[in-house]
Amino acid sequence: MEKRMTAKKMTKKQLAEYEKILLNMRQKAMDDADSIKENSLHDSGNLDSTARDSNYAYHMADVGTDSQEREKSFLWYTRENKFIRHIDEALIRIKDGTFGICKTCEELIPHARLKEVPNTTQCVACKNENH
């Protein structure tokens, strides 16, 4: 079990540091989501691109491949949006003063954990107990 921290709140300086990290992560995730959306929309408009770009006849397998790629893009887009929601929730916790406090044991989450997963809501010990 990991060592528990005794303080119940982070300093304003620490919170500002994590806020900056989270905002950078959020921007990157937003850019990634936009890129996925743009690419999948561009590709979905070209459903028959294989037939157009080829001298070969259009084949059913091409339809399946296109469909699979669109589904994969949708899953990545959904995953990015879920990640953005988790970041937004962490930013709210910074504003309301609960950031870095484990939702299970209510102790401060060690900085080593927060540096790896800044949007986490649990310390490693509690996360491991829940899985």
0.85 exceeded by pTM: no
- Report yes or no on 3 lying in a domain: no
- Report yes or no on 5 lying in a domain: no
- Report yes or no on 7 lying in a domain: no
Distance CA 41, CA 56 (A): 25
Q: How far is CA 46 from CA 37, 63, 68, in A?
A: 14, 11, 14
State pLDDT tens for residues 38-53: 887 665 555 445 444 5
Domain count, the chain: 1
Lowest mean pLDDT among 3-7, 70-74, 108-112, 119-123: 3-7
- Report yes or no on 30 lying in a domain: yes
In whole numbers, what is the pLDDT of the chain averaged over residues? Answer: 84
Domain region containing 21:
12-130
- Report yes or no on 6 lying in a domain: no
Q: Residue 59: which CATH number?
A: 1.20.120.910
